[in-house]
Structure 1
Amino acid sequence: MQIRTTLTTTPTSDERLAEILANPGFGTHFTDHMFTVEWTPAEGWHDARIEPYGPLTLDPATAVLHYAQETFEGMKAYRHPDGSVWSFRPEQNGERMVRSSQRLALPELPVEDFVRAVDALVEVDQRWVPDASTGEKSLYLRPFMIATEVFLGVRPSQHVTFMVIASPAGAYFKGGVKPVSLWLTEEYTRAGRGGMGAAKTGGNYASSLVAQQEATEHGCDQVVFLDAQEGRYVEELGGMNLYFVHADGHIVTPGTGTILEGITRASIIELAQKMGHRVEERRFSIDEWRDGVASGEITEIFACGTAAVVTPVGELRWDGGSVPSVPAGNVAERIRAQLVDLQFGRSADDFDWMHRIV
């Protein structure tokens, strides 16, 4: 991929950037540039460019606005103590976007081009990556692909645009890691067999919002979804995967098929196995959750995602019932520490997961 670069003539001042990085929040400030490449059947991927960050101009008949043909990824760039900048398993994000694109009838962006696009933007905007001494701050990266053909017919778009934007992100937990409380939705499901559950597409997140709203109204942090066919088996949270630690040390995580195959999820499975835990990926029922906590068979529950990395799970509630929190264990804490230390360059990368950008 040949990338043309046009730098902004009005870069964010050093003083303003320092203010932003001191308290970046999440998804509210954006770097000075963005990456774009376009696709058509005749030309394939073409016109790759980095240019100043700014609004898009879309015709009202642009396909993505009507049929939601789009995919996206979420990943981070980390500043290491020596000043270098790294990403975490970017090829896995690229491969997942290929799978998502196949499900959404979008063209496949080669993984090497995906990684190059992300690297190129970070290289240009590297001063936006927070310093290594600032806790768990990072530069959040959002690659996405949208159908940009101006056409109202229901068919795969003949013009597609892939972009990457970046936003500095603060630590997910301020004041220490805290358990998240969960609401079990009994009315809404996230995905069914043959659906888009395993694709990272905005429609999955849109369908989760009303259930998340329900959780918030009941004083809970996150929503738990069950399978659409039987309404018995735990799938995932609104944006995180789940793990259940058992008394003998083995860990169960719901199997894939209708859930998103998270990069953090896969990494935790490998880390846990290296730590001596047997990990099972299988169907896990809500009854098994309730009974396991009541009997003491389940000794720890935690969740994971790109933003939070790893977080302990507290009480599970639903209309007319609940499952109490299990005593805080140290499996999640140890896994989280190992993963975060690896990402921020504080420990050896024995898995060869980190990818140097700058």
Structure 2
Amino acid sequence: MKNKPYDLFKMLLKTVFAEIIKVFVKDIELTFPKVIGDYDFINHFRKIGPRKSYKLAIYQNKTGKKAIAKMISAKIKSYHYYSLLNEIAIYNTLNSATDRLKKNTPPQYKDVYIPRLINTFEDGFRLISLVEFVAGEVVQNYSAKKKLELYIKITNYLNYIGENLTKAERSQISVRKSLNYIVLYPLLAVKAVITYPASLPYVLVGMIRFLRNIPIVLKNSKSSLIHRDLHFKNILTCENGHALIDFQQMVFSEPLHEYITTLRYFWYGYKRKEFGRLLLAEIIKKNIKRKKFNELFQSYAINSVTHGLTGSGFSRDIILGWFDFFKFSLNSDFTKFQTKNIL
């Protein structure tokens, strides 16, 4: 199987065609193969992702080593197929890079672990990745301060890896330029209003602010290796530190967008979640000296929350929190935050 970068526009075009095809062609119920390489199927694990699109299973080899299999339909190739294809390419790239950089990796990153991609499988119906099983717990129960320290460490580590990739390794990771966010925003805005009609007033004002800031975004955005789904369910404790998983959305893009998207996910508990307050303070501290930071924050926050509102199935508390985050994005008073701790 040839790994391909996560090409945004090709992926979206193919996904549109796939969604049309699904209207007329029924997808088949997928089953895991009994054997993948040296690993035998043990049992089904669970379904994950939007609409529970991915099936997980446990495999094990003759030495007792376990692996996690993630499966998606390959008969009708849509967004989730290309996301898993991207994750496979990312695992190959990160495994190669971390092996090469191991001796020279700064000591503060030695306890961050990237699991190994063991094998892949694809036929006309299924795409499957087989990844090393990490026996650990998610870090949801860490204190807010410890979570923030870990979050900063991991984002810095990914930036370190990104800066030290070879040309060949880098070619396997797609780039989300500021222009990508700009071109896609009108589509996100329409979908957000369709999904949540109550978002219309925020989306209309947000679109005006977003369009007004386009020259600033184009001129002042940066790029680094970012996870794009960095929440604490994707960080596991392991024997020597912490393992980072779920790389389906990883790209080179604006690091501020990564921080803002994580902040949005914690905003629903803004009155009681200490981590959200600490993360916003960290965003301000890291970026306040950037040229046109207020406009950049506003643009990427509007883009992030509008994107979030395109999805269904979230709780009422989360959606109301995102509406509140939208309000803050439209009028981000950092001075007020710093003096009164609005979170």
Q: Give TM-score, length-normalised by structure 2.
A: 0.29
Bigger share in strand: 1
Q: Give TM-score, length-normalised by structure 1.
A: 0.28
